[in-house]
A and B are shown apart, each in its own frame.
Chain A
Amino acid sequence: MVLTVNGMALATRTDRRPSTTRTIWDSTVGKKSVMAVSGLIMLGYLVVHMLGNLKIFFGADEFNGYAHWLRTLGSPFLHHEWALWIVRVALVAAVVAHAVCAYQLSRRDIKARPVKYAHKRRRASYATRTMRWGGIILALFIVWHLLDLTTLTVNERAWAGHPYENVLATFSTWYGNTIYIVAMAALGLHVRHGFWSAAQTLGAGTARRERTLKFLADALALVLFAGFVSVPVAVMTGMVS
């Protein structure tokens, strides 16, 4: 192999540049930005979702009423459930973009480092692993979660229009609790590295902001985990029944 770069006229200073979309999609930095933005969209949704869940502590009427209000949101300007569908479409887009980029980038990363070191280190790549496996766990969870509480396909009670009762049904089974709590733990870890990572990817990270960003990431992860998990815990302990 000859290690020369003779005659290699690299494409510099080209006047014709690819479109912005192409530039973003073709670049690892661009794809990471797509992941960061879609991740932040989902994160924002989760914060609202979690706060809505806490209404369960105020009883069935308030919780079911809140669920009903979500369907009439924006009315009369928006038709029944349109607001909800707009949010759903945006979320699906975010999930798909996030997952496709994650898949493509992961494949690329694995290809970039095909041979492992013979000497294994104790300091494993914790962040990358939690992101990849955590992401897969979360994707599976979303499917289950939708079948359970949105389409009610796998819910044991499956009483349309009565989410309070459906939630209680889910968290009165051992597997419902287990799946949910494990998934929320994965969510916490995913958000912890993901939020900080998104901030770096979008260029918000500086040496000075490092501690603030890390604290914010930890706080967000903890609040989301605690907020979501409080519901099954309350059901299990009989606080909510």
Chain B
Amino acid sequence: MKLTLRVWRQRNTDAPGAMASYEVDGISKDMSFLEMLDTLNEDLILRGEDPVAFDHDCREGICGACSLVINGDAHGPERTTTCQLHMRSFADGDTIDVEPWRASAFPVVKDLVVDRSAFDRIIQAGGYITAPTGSAPEAHATAVPKPDADSAFEHAECIGCGACVAACPNGSAMLFTSAKINHLNVLPQGSPERETRVLDMVARMDDEGFGGCTLTGECATACPKGIPLPSIAAMNREWLRAVRKG
């Protein structure tokens, strides 16, 4: 396959950026999208140019590092992470636009790399259960109904990649935040901090400069792990409940 790539290039956070065009040839359909970018970078290095910077690590779709907007879609045309997107999803001769996540809470670090530390700070605000090491009761002391355990798991699957924010026209982090709240608040272990958790995490989310939710549903469509849109309604329910309880 031969492709034209239009890639966002930006030296650092403060520098202006622009789209730049590159031709890549000899691309196999079995390559992952990132392996295609590796090929481009090998060429660029040999030509003495600066290779394209992008975040990636596990390349198994679980670490959440990769973060490319491909032809306007976060993680590209398939419902998966960029690293699990393969070139068979494209056709020979295609022009592909590659851009970084866009949100003011995710400033560009270089090229396609953005700073997602705002997510870490949302978790730091309450996305945990206070259970210091050594203080744990026997694991079977508390039974958790299977539906609750399954629901907690489905929300805990979030990989923190930020595709929800990238896809949202408002740059909102509601789906990310709701995933963690719904993971922990449904469990009996998480219930003592149920109210403070949702209040603190939502407040931190707002402070980080993410937009509000207008329920466009773009986040859930882009989510590679299938965190569902009703997750947001469930978080709102938790939040209102916490506000009512004062």
Q: Which A residues fall within an 8 A CB radius of B?
A: 1, 3, 5, 8, 10-13, 17, 20, 23-24, 26-33, 105, 108-121, 123, 125-128, 131, 193, 196-197, 199-207, 210
Query: In the bound complex, what is the Cα–Cα distance between A30 and B107 (angstroms)?
Result: 26
Q: Number of residue pairs across A and B with beta carbons under 8 Å?
A: 170
Verify B104–A114 contact, CB threshold 8 A. yes
Chain A residues with CB under 8 Å of B216's CB are 125-128
Task: Please report whether the interface of chain B is mostly helix, strand, loop or mixed according to DSSP.
Answer: mixed
Question: Nearest CB to that of A13 among chain B residues?
Answer: B196
Chain B residues with CB under 8 Å of A121's CB are 71-73
Given contacts A5-B120, A12-B200, A20-B243, contact A108 B236 (CB under 8 A): no
Chain B residues with CB under 8 Å of A127's CB are 214-217
Chain B residues with CB under 8 Å of A27's CB are 202-203, 206, 239
Question: Nearest CB to that of B241 among chain A residues?
Answer: A203
Beyond contacts A117-B97, A203-B233: 4 other A-B pairs, Cβ-Cβ < 8 A, are: A28-B202, A109-B172, A112-B171, A127-B216
Most B-side CB within 10 Å, residue of A17, A120, A193:
A17
What are 23 A-to-B residue pairs whose CB atoms are below 8 Å? A5-B117, A10-B125, A10-B204, A12-B200, A13-B196, A28-B206, A28-B212, A30-B243, A32-B213, A33-B240, A109-B170, A112-B103, A112-B170, A112-B172, A113-B169, A117-B72, A118-B99, A128-B170, A200-B230, A203-B237, A203-B238, A205-B232, A206-B230
Verify B200–A118 contact, CB threshold 8 A. no
Query: In the bound complex, what is the Cα–Cα distance between A108 and B105 (angstroms)?
Result: 12
Query: In the bound complex, what is the Cα–Cα distance between A29 and B206 (angstroms)?
Result: 9
Query: In the bound complex, what is the Cα–Cα distance between A181 and B227 (angstroms)?
Result: 39
Query: In the bound complex, what is the Cα–Cα distance between A76 and B4 (angstroms)?
Result: 79
B191 within 8 A of A: no
Verify B233–A112 contact, CB threshold 8 A. no
Chain A residues with CB under 8 Å of B238's CB are 203
Chain A residues with CB under 8 Å of B203's CB are 26-27
Most A-side CB within 10 Å, residue of B215, B237, B243:
B215
**Hey, what's the 0/1 contact readout for B48-87 against A, CB within 8 Å counting as 1?**
0000000000000000000001011100000000000000
B210 within 8 A of A: yes
Question: Nearest CB to that of B74 among chain A residues?
Answer: A117
Query: In the bound complex, what is the Cα–Cα distance between A117 and B74 (angstroms)?
Result: 11
B91 within 8 A of A: no
Chain B residues with CB under 8 Å of A123's CB are 218
What count of chain B residues pass the 8 Å CB interface test?
62
Q: Which B residues fall within an 8 A CB radius of A?
A: 6, 8, 12-13, 19, 69, 71-73, 97, 99, 102-105, 107, 109, 115, 117, 120-121, 124-126, 168-172, 196, 199-200, 202-206, 209-218, 228-230, 232-241, 243, 246
Chain B residues with CB under 8 Å of A126's CB are 216
Verify A119–B215 contact, CB threshold 8 A. no
CB distance from A152 to the nearest CB of B (A): 37
Verify B230–A207 contact, CB threshold 8 A. yes
Verify A117–B237 contact, CB threshold 8 A. no
Query: In the bound complex, what is the Cα–Cα distance between A29 and B204 (angstroms)?
Result: 12
- A28's contact among B71, B102, B213, by CB below 8 Å, is which? B213
Query: In the bound complex, what is the Cα–Cα distance between A197 and B236 (angstroms)?
Result: 11
Question: Nearest CB to that of B198 among chain A residues?
Answer: A29
CB distance from B38 to the nearest CB of A (A): 22
Chain B residues with CB under 8 Å of A197's CB are 214-215
A-B pairs, top 7 by smallest CB distance, nearest first, are A203-B237, A205-B233, A112-B211, A109-B170, A112-B171, A28-B212, A113-B171
CB distance from B163 to the nearest CB of A (A): 13
Given contacts A117-B99, A125-B169, contact A112 B209 (CB under 8 A): yes
Verify A111–B240 contact, CB threshold 8 A. no
Query: In the bound complex, what is the Cα–Cα distance between A108 and B206 (angstroms)?
Result: 10
CB distance from A135 to the nearest CB of B (A): 11
Query: In the bound complex, what is the Cα–Cα distance between A148 and B85 (angstroms)?
Result: 58
Most B-side CB within 10 Å, residue of A105, A201, A204:
A201
